[in-house]
A = this chain, B = another copy of it.
């Protein structure tokens, strides 16, 4: 049976194309793997009769001086960042958190109605905004105090930052679709009462003192 011969043949007896293909295959499997894989698991994904250990060691040597190394931990193999480049990585993984619904709503209202005071946000949201929600938004770096309204109590107003535009892939705040555009895009399922502007109220002259950004 030919299989027996393949199994007994050593790596060098394969054509260079086959060896190259096997290396490529191994590379792709290890790259896409969600967890380190043992030699046996890898062999099961490769063509039958492949000398997995020889291939793994060849790949390990090829990557030894690169920014990414092929590491063996116990029985399992995985690509990892070279240890001397560890400074590029987070020491402890940053926690990825989804913005809560109230935070998302508040952020959207700030984006659409900026500069806007907390009382005005609450008026649109219809519920009081907890201090935590605004704190989270300030922590994201997407929202910052913009100034004080020249009304009794001189309330603080909020607006969005450049990081906000970067994160949401907008070139300007005016890229946000207006109410009529939200409706046309199928995002707003309500009749817009007459008197509500088709476009969001951008570019209104500020009637407030701006905070000193450097201060």
Using a CB–CB cutoff of 8 Å, the interface residues on chain A facing chain B are 1, 3-5, 20, 23-29, 31-32, 34, 45, 58, 61-62, 65-68, 79, 81-82, 85, 88-89, 92, 118, 129-136, 138, 144-148, 154-156, 161, 169-172, 174-178, 181, 184-187, 199
Indicate the member of A89, A136, A145 with the most B CB atoms within 10 Å.
Answer: A145
Chain B residues, Cβ within 8 Å of A88: 25, 28-29, 32, 45
Alpha-carbon distance between A90 and B211 when the two chains are bound, in angstroms: 55
A32-B89, A174-B148, A175-B146 known; A134+B79 contact, CB < 8 A: no
Known pairs A31-B79, A131-B186, A154-B199 / 16 extra A-B pairs, C-beta < 8 Å: A1-B62, A5-B66, A24-B85, A28-B81, A28-B82, A31-B68, A32-B81, A32-B88, A133-B186, A134-B185, A145-B177, A146-B171, A147-B174, A154-B174, A155-B181, A156-B175
Beta-carbon nearest neighbor of A157 in chain B = B175
A5-B66, A156-B175, A181-B156 known; A32+B92 contact, CB < 8 A: yes
